[in-house]
């Protein structure tokens, strides 16, 4: 076949990737590589598809082939950086995303991807300038709006998060991350049925989406009396950030010890025992709650895993 045939299959693969038709995109890219096995772009795009399908080993192989064929291809470097992120090799991934930000400073995807690495490594405050830069480059990019909204949500700023979510969904009403973000905001506001609807809409687009399944499990936890208390506590602690959350825990422990010592000093044995028992219950609850939630999430994920293992 001629070069136009390769271009036609590449165009189709990119279109399928944008529409979330990953299996179709993989087949189209295999057609491309059967016509031109040394095409770096084909290997890089296939790596990204396989990564979205959670086939990390295969994605790594394709990303390495893409770099071998064209070490200076920004697409190949981007694919390899995404694989490194999935492998949790964050230092190497950060270096490659930094290079991409230097090579293609006008591409908002590079800044957003580097912000994601910062998120995974606990550097939440360093994310903001990168997300602002990405938004300045493309103010109407729903993916950047959703990421920035998620950043605000994690800080507990629901108003700013909702503003970004609405902007993202105005640009693209069925944007997956925008739906997830809005669902999370609605859940924080106690609008549980609406949050459930957004989780369902996101799952219709991608039944295997872990973010959508996590939102669905959170909705179920919020509806449960036992898990609902833990979910509110967890959401509040998450909004504080790591440093302030540690201070809250230390403060709670000091209050417990102060109450116990004071009760003992005044001979209030019954009150002292009650305080100790209450503290043990709280500690046990904060340990058991996440385990129950993970089990709930596992149940949500199990049908998806079965559907994919054929």
**Tokens standing for 281?**
């219950």
- pLDDT value at position 213? 82
Contact yes or no for 94/76 (Cβ under 8 A): no
CATH architecture of 1-87: Alpha Horseshoe (1.25)
pLDDT single digits (tens) 274-303: 777 776 766 665 666 566 556 655 555 455
CA distances from 159 to 75, 150, 164, 185 (A): 36, 12, 9, 9
Give residue 305's pLDDT band: very low, low, confident or very high (50, 70, 90): very low
Cα 118 to chain centroid distance, Å, stands at: 12
2-16, 214-228, 238-252: range with highest mean pLDDT? 2-16
Which stretch of 17-21, 42-46, 192-196, 224-228 has the lowest confidence by average pLDDT?
A: 224-228
- pLDDT value at position 276? 77
- pLDDT value at position 104? 94
pLDDT single digits (tens) 106-160: 999 999 999 999 999 989 889 999 999 999 999 999 999 999 999 999 888 999 9
Percent of the chain at pLDDT exceeding 70: 80
Report domain extents, the chain: 1-87
- pLDDT value at position 93? 97
- pLDDT value at position 115? 96
- pLDDT value at position 58? 96
pLDDT at 239 over 70: no
The mean pLDDT of the chain is 84
pLDDT at 2 over 60: no
- pLDDT value at position 235? 60
CA distances from 295 to 54, 200, 289, 290, 309 (A): 21, 20, 10, 9, 21
Taking residues 170-178, report their average pLDDT: 93
pLDDT single digits (tens) 35-83: 999 999 999 999 999 998 889 999 999 999 999 999 999 999 999 999 9
pLDDT at 225 over 60: no
Instruction: State the pTM of this model.
Output: 0.72
pLDDT at 174 over 50: yes
Taking residues 175-180, report their average pLDDT: 94
Taking residues 184-196, report their average pLDDT: 93
- pLDDT value at position 98? 96
pLDDT at 175 over 90: yes
Look at residues 218, 238, 233, 232 and name the one whose alpha carbon lies nearest to residue 124: 238
**Tokens standing for 35?**
């016509």
pLDDT at 307 over 60: no
Which helix (H) or strand (E) covers residue 233, if one does? Answer: helix 225-240
Distance between CA atoms of residues 88 and 197, nearest Å: 32
- pLDDT value at position 308? 40
Distance between CA atoms of residues 79 and 66, nearest Å: 8
């Amino acid at each position: 076949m001629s070069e136009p045939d390769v271009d036609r299959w590449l165009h189709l693969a990119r279109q399928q990737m944008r529409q979330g038709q990953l299996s179709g995109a993989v087949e189209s890219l295999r057609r491309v590589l059967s016509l031109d096995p040394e095409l770096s772009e084909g290997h890089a795009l296939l790596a990204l598809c396989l990564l979205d399908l959670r086939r990390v080993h295969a994605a790594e192989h394709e990303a390495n082939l893409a770099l071998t064929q064209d070490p200076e291809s920004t697409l190949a470097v981007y694919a390899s950086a995404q694989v490194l992120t999935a492998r949790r090799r964050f230092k190497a991934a950060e270096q490659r995303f930094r290079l991409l930000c230097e090579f293609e400073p006008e591409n908002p995807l590079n800044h957003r991807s580097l912000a994601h690495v910062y998120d995974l490594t606990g550097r939440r405050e360093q994310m903001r300038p990168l997300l602002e830069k990405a938004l300045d480059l493309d103010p109407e990019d729903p993916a950047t709006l959703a990421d920035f909204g998620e950043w605000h949500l994690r800080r507990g700023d629901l108003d700013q998060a909702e503003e970004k979510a609405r902007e993202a969904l105005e640009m693209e009403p069925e944007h997956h991350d925008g739906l997830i973000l809005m669902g999370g905001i609605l859940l924080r506001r106690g609008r549980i049925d609406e949050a459930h609807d957004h989780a369902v809409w996101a799952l219709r687009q991608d039944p295997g989406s872990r973010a959508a399944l996590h939102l669905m499990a959170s909705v179920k936890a919020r509806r449960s009396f036992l898990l609902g208390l833990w979910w509110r506590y967890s959401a509040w602690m998450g909004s504080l950030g790591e440093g302030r959350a540690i201070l809250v825990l230390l403060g709670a422990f000091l209050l417990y010890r102060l109450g116990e010592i004071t009760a003992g000093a005044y001979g209030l044995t019954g009150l002292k025992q009650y305080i100790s028992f209450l503290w043990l219950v709280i500690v046990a609850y904060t340990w058991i709650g996440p385990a129950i939630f993970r089990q709930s999430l596992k149940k949500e994920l199990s049908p998806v895993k079965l559907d994919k293992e054929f």
